Homo-oligomer: A and B are copies of this chain.
Amino acid sequence: MAIDLKAEQALKLWQEVSMAMVHGNEPDLTLRQFTILLTVYLEPPPHTVRGLAMRLGVTKPVITRALDTMGALKLLKRRRDERDRRNVIIQRTVEGSVFLEAFADTVRTKARDLPR
Please list the residues of chain A having a beta carbon within 8 angstroms of any beta carbon in chain B: 1-15, 18-19, 21-23, 28, 30-32, 34-35, 38-39, 41-42, 55-58, 100-101, 103-105, 107-108, 111-114, 116
Contact A3-B7, Cβ < 8 Å, known A31-B28, A38-B15: no
- Residue of A18, A56, A100 contacting most chain B CB atoms (<10 Å): A18
Given contacts A18-B34, A19-B39, A30-B30, contact A4 B103 (CB under 8 A): no
Q: Complex Cα distance A113/B9, Å?
A: 17
Copies of this chain in its oligomeric complex: 2
Asked if residues A35 and B18 are in contact (CB atoms below 8 Å), the reply is yes
Interface SS of A by simple majority: helix
Q: Are A2 and B39 in contact (CB under 8 A)?
A: no
* Contact across chains for B9 and A56 when beta carbons are under 8 A apart: no
Supply 20 further A-B pairs (C-beta < 8 A) apart from A3-B3, A15-B42: A2-B111, A2-B112, A2-B114, A3-B5, A3-B111, A4-B111, A4-B112, A7-B101, A7-B108, A10-B108, A11-B42, A11-B100, A11-B103, A14-B34, A14-B103, A18-B35, A21-B31, A22-B56, A22-B57, A23-B56
